[in-house]
Structure 1
Amino acid sequence: MTVRLDYEPYDLGGMTWEDAETAIPDADFVVLPTGSVEQHSLHLPVTVDTLRAESLSREIVEAAPDHDLSMVRLPTLPYGYSEHHMNYPGTVTLSSDTYQQVIVEIGESMANHGAERLLVLNCHGGNRSPLKLAADRIQRDHGVKTSFVHWTDFARDRLKERFGEGWGHAGDHETSAIELFYPDLVRTEKKEPQVRKADFEARQYTYFDDITEQGGLGDPTQSDPEFLEEVVAETNADILAALNSDIDQE
Structure 2
Amino acid sequence: MTVELDYEEYDLGNLTWEEADVAIDEADFMVLPTGAIEQHSLHLPVSVDTLRAENLSRVLVQAATDRDLSMIRLPTLPFGYSEHHMTRSGTLTLMPDTYQKVVEELGASVAQHGAKRLLIVNCHGGNNAPLKLAGDRLQRDHNIEVYLVNWTSFAREQLETRFGPDWSHAGEHETSVTELYHPDLVRTEKKEKQQRKAKFNVRQYTWYTDLAVQGGRGDPRKSDPEFMEEVVADTTDRILDALEEDLAQPVDGVHTLEQAPNSN
C-alpha distance in 1 between matches for 2:110 and 2:63: 22
Amino acid at match of 2:48: V
The share of aligned pairs that are identical, in percent, is 66
Q: Cα offset for 1:67? A: 1.1
Q: Cα offset for 1:120? A: 0.3
Amino acid at match of 2:110: M
Amino acid at match of 1:178: T
- After the TM superposition, list the runs of 4 or more consecutive aligned residues in structure 1 that deviate by more than 4 angstroms: none
3-state SS, counterpart of residue 199 of structure 2: coil
Amino acid at match of 2:236: N
3-state SS, counterpart of residue 146 of structure 1: strand
C-alpha distance in 1 between matches for 2:94 and 2:20: 29
**Which ranges of structure 2 fall in alignment gaps of 5 or more residues?**
251-264
C-alpha distance in 2 between matches for 1:125 and 1:72: 24
1:1-250 matches, cutoff 5 A = 1-250=1-250
Give the TM-score normalised by the residue count of structure 2.
Answer: 0.94
3-state SS, counterpart of residue 118 of structure 2: strand
Amino acid at match of 1:21: D
Q: Cα offset for 1:81? A: 0.1
C-alpha distance in 2 between matches for 1:158 and 1:168: 13
3-state SS, counterpart of residue 119 of structure 1: strand
C-alpha distance in 1 between matches for 2:183 and 2:143: 41
Q: Cα offset for 1:68? A: 1.4
Q: Cα offset for 1:241? A: 1.1
3-state SS, counterpart of residue 121 of structure 1: strand
Indicate conservation of the 8 Å contact 1:28/1:116, yes or no: yes
Structure ID, larger Rg? 2
Indicate conservation of the 8 Å contact 1:67/1:241, yes or no: no
**Which ranges of structure 1 fall in alignment gaps of 5 or more residues?**
none
Amino acid at match of 1:225: P
C-alpha distance in 1 between matches for 2:164 and 2:216: 16
3-state SS, counterpart of residue 160 of structure 1: helix
- Per-residue CA deviation, residues 4-47 of structure 1 (Å, 9 max, x unaligned), is 11110000011100010010121000000000000000000000
